Structures are given as structure tokens and as C-alpha cells.
Structure 1
């Protein structure tokens, strides 16, 4: 609930700032002769802000999979994949969230978690991370990503990024 309140307040704050700046610049004198109204435009901006952020959140998981080239582990093909999958399962159970999708992507040491809902998220780790770290270190990174899911951090960041993409 706090997250939704902050999301609404962020959108309202952006619209208020837009309104103040538009009034200071005298934008209304250009709008009125063309049949437009500053309040109408600010309402439209608010609608676009909410819509853009919501769409950004809902497509965050498929976009992350596509952009990073994530290969999902549905059935582990080797011992390393089985270990990663079971580590994610164990840590997500401990955190009290649903089992996220698990994936691997090529690249430098990195990992991420994303998704609109705690019980249908994605945790992905890079091949660079798997090759350059010990199992204990990898488990710590996966635990960190699971904590992001459990805390709802990915939802917060997707909503904030949606607001930024919409208004900036």
C-alpha cells in the first residue's frame, strides 16, 4: 500500500511541477487560442504517467529476458544448472515467495531480478558470474536478487522508471 501511495504521489508531484513551470512560462496564452487548456493537458500527462509506468511494470520481465538474451532453465541440463535452480528454489522458499523463473545469460559478471509480481518473477545470472565466482559467492548474489523480489524492489524501480520514461 505504501508503494502505491508513493507511486501516486510521484505522479502528482511531476504534474504539479509541470503545471507550475507551464504557468511561469505563460504557456496558457498559446494553448487557449487553439482550444486547449493547461488543466486538460496536465490531466492527460497524469494519465500517461500512470499508464506508462504500469505498462513498463507489466512488460519488465519479457523485455528483460529479450534484451539480456536470457535462456530459461526449465529442466536443468547439467549439474551447474541443477545447483542454480535448486539454490533459487531454496532461497525463494526461505523468503516466502513463489518460485521465480531461473535463467542464464551471456556476459560479464551480473545478475538481476525482475517481474511485476512477487510470485511470478525472474532471477537471471550471467555466465561471467558463474565462471568468476565461487558457489558461496553465487549463492550470496542469488540471495540478494531474491531479497529484491521479496522486498518488492523491482516493482518500485519499474514504476519509477516508467514515470521517468513517460515524463522525461
Structure 2
């Protein structure tokens, strides 16, 4: 199912690309755009994960890292019945994380240095489990392809606005300019729809993988607070990748909530708390499974 959705998404983005080609140079431009999009589809499928990691200057974490991050990821991947993904570190004080890769056998999890400095071990396990859930659900291929195509469409739109579209088209210059604005907006809406629907599922599956829904809820709250006050300059320069992160790395609180790439953090926390309550009732030990918040800077600082 994940591959089918990815194929549909790539076809939709290709259609947007062809539409832009037509606006820029008529039928010939549309055919050129089709060839370019076909090449992008192939390149994106095999290399989009490397591109995204490179955008954020992520560096691989050694198997025997001193903090034990690789061991934690290996343990949680075993809980999820997944191959252990590659692990990357992004040097930024903003706490955040994302997963990427075209399938579970070719996946990577990237965490920021700010995340390691902010969360307790239980909270970090919840975040890693959330990212592993994206891999398990085959979300990473869709999210990474979306990021790559949305960035390309935005670049093409900027190019078209700078050089001008077909002034003699049936819709006229004003209509052409309007489409050059609306098509990237449509690509952005696709990103939002994908991220909003998949984050809840990844939270639920991630809570099952780590066995601590309240730890993940606590982590989300800490990350939200950090992302709201700490800039992630690399993410700001590459906004098309924002939907991949566990919490929006951009300062979305300054924007209309309609255009946020992520669902409300408060709603996600409430869903995890409800999940914890249900789990506690099933186990008949309500007090036994709650995770108390640590000071934030635990063994990962």
C-alpha cells in the first residue's frame, strides 16, 4: 500500500510539473517537463533520502557511540521487527528528529544535537520509536518524495515568476501568474495533508514500539517548546522538508494554523494520554506505567 501511494503522489507531482512546463513554453515545455519529471522520479526514488540528509548537514553516528544511541535504536528496531536503520546526527540546538528512506531496508533516522541535550532516555526512546513507526508504515518514501518535489516545484515557480510565463496563453498574464502562485500552494497542501494524517498513526505505533506513550507525549511537549523558541536555520532554508520532522521545525506559530504541516501538538499529546489510560485499564495497574518527567537533560546531555 505504501508503494502504491508513493506512485500516486509521484504521478500527481509530475502532473504539476508538466502544467508548469506548459505555462512556461506551451506543448514543447510540457514535453520537456515530462522528461525532466521522469528523470526526477527515478533519481528521487533512489537518492532523495541522501539529498534530505545532505540538506541538513547530517553526519552518521558510529555503531559504538559513547551515548549508546545506536544501541537504543537497535533495541527499538528489534521491538518493531525492523532492520536497524542508519543513524545520523544534525548539529543544531533545536530539539527535533525525522526519518527518511525508500523502504525499511534502506532507511535512516536523524536526530538533532538539541534533542539529545533536551530529552531523558525514556523520552528519546519515544521519539526514536515514533520515527521507526514512520519507517514501518512506509511513510518515509512518501514524505521524502513529497519534500523533493515540493522543493523543485517551488524553485520552478520562482523561476517562472522571475522570467514570466506565456503572456499569450488563453488565461492571460494575470491567470498565468495566479497559477504560478497556486500550484506551489497545492504542492504545499499535499505536504500538509500527508503529514497531518500520518503523525497520529506514527504516535500510536511509536507508543506501542517503546511501550511508553506518556514518555512520547512528554517528549512532544518538550520538542514543541524548543522548536518555538530556537531557530533551525537549515530547516528555514529548506522549508519543503518541514513536514518530515516530528515537530514543525519552522516557527509555524507565527503563521495561520491552516497552513501548518503538523497537527496540533496538544491534540497529539491528548491522544497519547488517552492511549496510556486505555493501556493502564487493560493492565489493571494505572500507576505502574506512567512516566515521570525527568529534568530534561539526562544521560543524553
TM-score by length of 1: 0.72
2:79 maps to what in 1?
94
* CA deviation string 1:77-100 (max 9, x = no partner): 42x2x2x21221122223232211
Structure 2: runs of 5 or more not aligned: 155-301
Aligned pairs for 1:51-70 within 5 A: 51-70=39-58
* CA deviation string 1:60-111 (max 9, x = no partner): 3333443333332233242x2x2x2122112222323221111222212111
TM-score by length of 2: 0.43
Residue 50 (structure 1) shift: 3.0
Does residue 31 of structure 2 align to residue 46 of structure 1? Answer: no
Tell me how large the CA RMSD over aligned residues is.
Answer: 2.8
Does residue 113 of structure 2 align to residue 111 of structure 1? Answer: no
Structure 1: runs of 5 or more not aligned: 29-37
Bigger mean CA offset, 138-147 vs 88-97: 88-97
Q: Quick check: 2:99–2:132 contact (8 Å CA) kept in 1?
A: yes
Residue 125 (structure 1) shift: 1.4
Q: Number of residues paired by the alignment?
A: 151
In structure 2, the CA distance between the partners of 1:103 and 1:16, relative to structure 1 (3 Å rule), is closer
Residue 113 (structure 1) shift: 1.2
1:160 maps to what in 2?
146
2:231 maps to what in 1?
none
In structure 2, the CA distance between the partners of 1:5 and 1:75, relative to structure 1 (3 Å rule), is closer
The one of the two structures with greater contact order (alpha-carbon pairs below 8 A, sep at least 6) is 1
